[in-house]
Structure 1
C-alpha cells in the first residue's frame, strides 16, 4: 500500500488510524506489516464497507465520506476500510549500522557475484540514477531495482531521492570481502 506524505504524518502523530482503498479483493490482511518511510505499519482490521462514514473518513484524514469517494473515482471494486497503527521502526534502519556477519556473506555468495558488482557500482557512483546503473549492467531498470531491494533487505544499501548509496554495513561488507571487487565502474 502506498500512502501520501500527509497520511504518513498523520499515522505517525496518531491522528490517522484508518485508510481506504478500492479493490476487487483485499490486498492486505490482518497482521500484515507494511514498511513505510515512518516505520512499520501493522494492519489491525480489513473490512469491506458500502460507503465510508464521515467519522471513519476523518480517521483516515478526509473531511467527509464523500471526500473519500471522490478520492477513489474508479467505479469497479469494493471499498475497504483498513485499520493501521505504527508498529515500530523499519528493522532495516538498525541493520544498516550493524557490522556484517557470516550469514550476510553466505547469503551474498548464494545470491551470486552480481551482489558485489552492484555494491561496488553503488559505492563508486552514489546517487546515480537507477536507469543509468541498470544500463551499465545491461539490465532493464525494474529487474535491476528489484535486485537492489534484495541488498537493501540486508541493510546494505540506502535509497536516495535519486539513486542509492551504501550504508555503513554495505561499506564494511564490500571492504571486508576477500578479494572484493575494486575500481569497477559501470
Structure 2
C-alpha cells in the first residue's frame, strides 16, 4: 500500500484516517504496519464497501477534496471490491534510530554475525559483500550492483531489504548507501577478516 508524502503528512496530523482501494484482495492486514518514508502507518479495520454509497465525509477523511475526486481515483466499477482501510496514525520507524547507532555492543555484534552465518549458508560471504559493494558504490542502481554480484536484481533488492531491517543500509532515490551503523559493521567485518 503506497502513500504520497502529502498524504503521509496528513495521516501524521490525524487529518486523514481512511484509505480506499480497489483490490481483488487486501494487500494489508488488520493490525498491520506499512513502512513509509515518514514512518510506519498503522492499519486498523478493513471492510468491503459499496463505492456508490461512499460520502463526502468518507472522501475528506481519505484526504480527497470531494467525493468525485475519490470516485475518480477508484475508477469505474469493474467488479473489483472497494476496501475501506482505517489508518490509525504513524509511528516512528525503529530502523531509523537503529541506522544512526554506530556503537556496536558485543551483543549486537554477536547477533549480527549469527544472522550473517545463517544467511550465508547458501553463499558464504554474500551479505558482507553486499555491504562492501554498497559502501564502495553508493547511489549506484540496484541492477548494476546485482550484475556485479552475479545475482538477479529482484533477489539483490530482497537481500538489501534484509540488511535494511537491521539498520545497515538506506534506500536512496537511486541505489543505496550504508547507514552509520552499516559503516561500523563493515569496519568490524574488515577487522575480523584480517
Correspondence for 2:59 among 34, 57, 60:
57
Contact 1:53–1:64 under 8 Å retained in 2:
no
Q: Note the 1:4-83 alignment, pairs <5 A.
A: 4-51=4-51, 52-73=54-75, 75-83=78-86
Contact 2:142–2:153 under 8 Å retained in 1:
yes
Matched, 1:163 2:183: no
Q: Distance in 2 between matches of 1:97 and 1:64?
A: 41
Q: Distance in 1 between matches of 2:94 and 2:136?
A: 26
Tell me the TM-score normalised to structure 2 length: 0.87
Deviations 1:114-160 (A, max 9, x none): 11000001111111111111111122211111110010001100111
Q: What is the Cα-based RMSD across aligned positions, in Å?
A: 1.5
Q: Secondary structure at the match of 2:193?
A: coil
Q: Secondary structure at the match of 1:128?
A: coil
Contact 2:17–2:89 under 8 Å retained in 1:
no
Q: Secondary structure at the match of 1:81?
A: strand
Q: Secondary structure at the match of 1:126?
A: coil
Unaligned runs of 5+ in 2: none
Q: Distance in 2 between matches of 1:132 and 1:27?
A: 30
Tell me the TM-score normalised to structure 1 length: 0.91
Matched, 1:106 2:114: yes
Deviations 1:13-66 (A, max 9, x none): 221111110112222222011111111111111121102211011111112233
Q: Distance in 1 between matches of 2:81 and 2:183?
A: 46
Please identify, of 91-100 and 152-161, the stretch whose mean Cα deviation from structure 2 is larger: 91-100
